[in-house]
Amino acid sequence: MLTRPFEYCPPSDPYLNILYQDDEIIILDKPSGLLTVPGKDPKHADCLESRACEKFPGAKTVHRLDMDTSGLIIMGLNKIAHRHLSLQFQNRNVEKAYETLVHGPMQEKAGKIDLPLICDWPNRPKQMVDHERGKKSLTEWHLIEHQQNISRIHLIPHTGRSHQLRVHLMSIGHPILGDRFYASDEIYQMHDRLCLHSKNLTIMHPVLKEKMSFESKVPF
């Protein structure tokens, strides 16, 4: 499947959706179509991080979502908070959950996808399954509902590989609706955006040392 050409037109309404803020962290709801961090091309300078820095100088990204993916992003507002949060992600102490719409009926109500992933260099940024060189990648899924030929799925990534959820679902025969990288033309055109949303995030507050959970409404 060839990558579809696109023009970067980041959404501006709302310009910056802040769900929570204090002196240490901010929780943002990123829209589909906006980069998390700036790209190499000057045309890709507008991103969630740059917008956050306009209001919170020094705000720094801890983790990323694909441009086409929407949902929860946390940023540190100082070096100590950023380092503390970065270690949580590095040590997989953060709880994350996504929701998606995929093509076709799931045969089971729940399952796990354990397929190693590696960058498909000739076609980057695409990723692919590679059982010899790929890095371990594990996704847990649960069926929410099924209507016609579309399944709504709850996803829990136990690893954080690039494009992990998109490639894993495509690899078991259930590509995400609106996926310009991995879906067929028919499935790509079934929705006007990638139907993948980061809806739940639980972290340990870097100063309060208390678990904090956040939720974002699924927009599809």
Do 115 and 185 share a domain, yes or no?
Answer: yes
Output b/e per residue, 104-116; b: 16+ Cβ within 10 A.
eebeeeeeebebb
- Domain membership of residue 65 as a residue range: 18-94+202-215
Please report whether residue 3 resides in a domain. Answer: no
Q: Kindly state whether residues 124 and 105 are assigned to the same domain.
A: yes
Tell me, yes or no, whether 84 and 137 share the same domain.
no
Q: Which two tokens stand for residue 2?
A: 């060839």
Half-sphere exposure of 1 (CA within 13 A, CB side): 20
CATH code where residue 166 lies = 3.30.2350.10
Residue 130 falls in the annotated catalytic set: no
Q: Are residues 102 and 72 in the same domain?
A: no
Residue 178 lies in a domain: yes
Segment 97-142, tens digit of pLDDT: 999 999 999 999 999 999 999 999 999 899 999 999 999 999 999 9
- Residues 29 and 45: their CA atoms lie apart, in Å, by 19
> 28 and 71: one domain?
yes
Same domain, 78 and 154: no
Instruction: For the chain of 220 residues, list the mean pLDDT of each consecutive stretch of 10.
Output: 74 97 98 96 95 97 97 98 97 97 96 98 94 98 96 97 98 97 96 98 97 98
| 188 within some domain | yes
The reply to whether 105 falls in a domain is: yes
pTM for this entry? 0.95
pLDDT of residue 6: 80
In this prediction, residue 210 carries a pLDDT of 97
pLDDT tens-place string over residues 145-160: 999 999 999 999 999 9
Is 206 found in the same domain as 174? no
Contacts of 107 (CB under 8 A, 6+ apart): none
Of the listed 29, 66, 68, 179, which one is catalytic?
66
User: Beta strands of the chain (E only): which ranges?
Assistant: 18-21, 25-30, 60-61, 70-76, 95-103, 110-114, 117-119, 127-129, 138-147, 150-157, 196-204, 211-215
Residue 5 confidence (pLDDT): 72
Note whether 106 and 186 are same-domain residues. yes
Residue 7 falls within a domain, yes or no?
Answer: no
Nearest Cα residue to 164 out of 196, 191, 186, 193: 196
Assess whether 73 and 112 both reside in one domain: no
Is 6 domain-assigned? Answer: no
Statement to judge: residues 80 and 31 lie in one domain: yes
107 and 185 in one domain? yes
Judgement on whether residues 123 and 184 belong to the same structural domain of the protein:
yes
DSSP string, 48-104: HHHHHHHHSTT-EESS---TT-EEEEEEESSHHHHHHHHHHHHTT--EEEEEEEEES
